[in-house]
Structure 1
Amino acid sequence: MGVAHKPKEASIKAFGEIEHELKQKLVHLRRDHDKHEPQSFAAARQLSDEQLSSFSADDFVLVRVATTAYGLVLFGKLRIPALASGGDSKTPAYVHFRAFSAGPDQPALFHSFQTADLEDAQGNKTFHSIFTADDSLVWFNA
């Protein structure tokens, strides 16, 4: 997987191809997690669906690309503007997404959002889907 960098033209084009689906899937993911793991979106609890999905290509701040046998995998860091305003690098205000393309001339397809689970010293797990600016953009499958 390549190093993290600001999105270039090809990544911005791929983002544009999946932007509408990203918005729909993020709202759906939050609603689904609110039923079983409400802490996953606790940082965005106060936001409406419209505020949560109010991002645009200008909020696509970081990308990593991996070449695989079956095509290109794009990992993106996307700022949620309603959370980011006035925050610092430790403020949860980003989602990480994964997309796929069979090649440079093929359309991008949304794959998933990253949801991380954390385990405390007692073995209790908590989940989060909203990340900070300092959280690394890493490979994820879910």
Structure 2
Amino acid sequence: MASTETCQLNEAHPPKERSIEVFSAVLPEIKSQLLSLRHLHPPAYFDAVKDLSDNDLTSFTVDNLENVRVGTTAYGMHIFGKIQLPKSDDGYIHVRVFVGGGEADKCSVHCIHIEAKENAEGGKEFRAIMKKEDELKWFNE
């Protein structure tokens, strides 16, 4: 499996034609996975968008893809994307897409980022909704 050691990502940049093509192809899968995550995990993961309906949460289009980072391995391309949730207040999701052999018709959503971090009390906080200032970086989950 690819890792930060085996797949160097380029710097975050606005999406180019190739990334737009790939994200357009997997947009329905991204929306489906996002809704599955919302209904699978405790509500705290989605506190930032708790007032949004499922339709509002998934109202984004490929035009809301703000930044991407791309890395290549021998078996394909890994594209990390930052998508704005237009019906939210400063809500974003980070998505990882894999393109097998570099072919857009062989692409799939690897995962949507869910962050786990320690809080001041020594416990864990989880979130699936990022903010504009959150860096688009490597993730496996």
Decide: shared fold, TM above 0.5.
yes
Counterpart CA distance in 2 for 1:70 and 1:53 is: 30
1:3 aligns to what SS in structure 2? coil
Corresponding position: 1:58 with 2:63: yes
The equivalent of 1:112 in structure 2 is 111
Q: Is the 8 A contact 2:25 2:104 kept in 1?
A: no
1:8 counterpart = 2:16:
yes
The one-letter code sitting in structure 1 at the alignment partner of 2:60 is F
Cα deviation, residue 33, structure 1: 1.0
Q: Does 1:80 align with 2:85?
A: yes
- Which consecutive unaligned segments of at least 5 residues does structure 2 have? 1-8
TM norm structure 1: 0.89
Q: How many aligned positions are there?
A: 132
Give the match's secondary structure for 1:83: coil
The alpha carbon displacement at 1:118 in A equals 1.6
Structure 1 position 106, deviation (Å): 4.2
Q: Quote the offset at 1:39 in angstroms.
A: 1.3
Q: Which runs of 5+ in 1 are unaligned?
A: 85-90
1:21 partnered with 2:29? yes
Please tell me whether the aligned partners of residues 21 and 104 of structure 2 are also in contact (alpha carbons under 8 angstroms): no
Per-residue CA shift, 1:47-102, capped at 9, x if unaligned? 10000000001101110001112210000000100014xxxxxx3x1000000011
| Amino-acid identity (%) | 40
2:127 matched residue in structure 1 = 128
- Alignment RMSD, CA only? 1.1
Match for residue 87 of structure 1? none
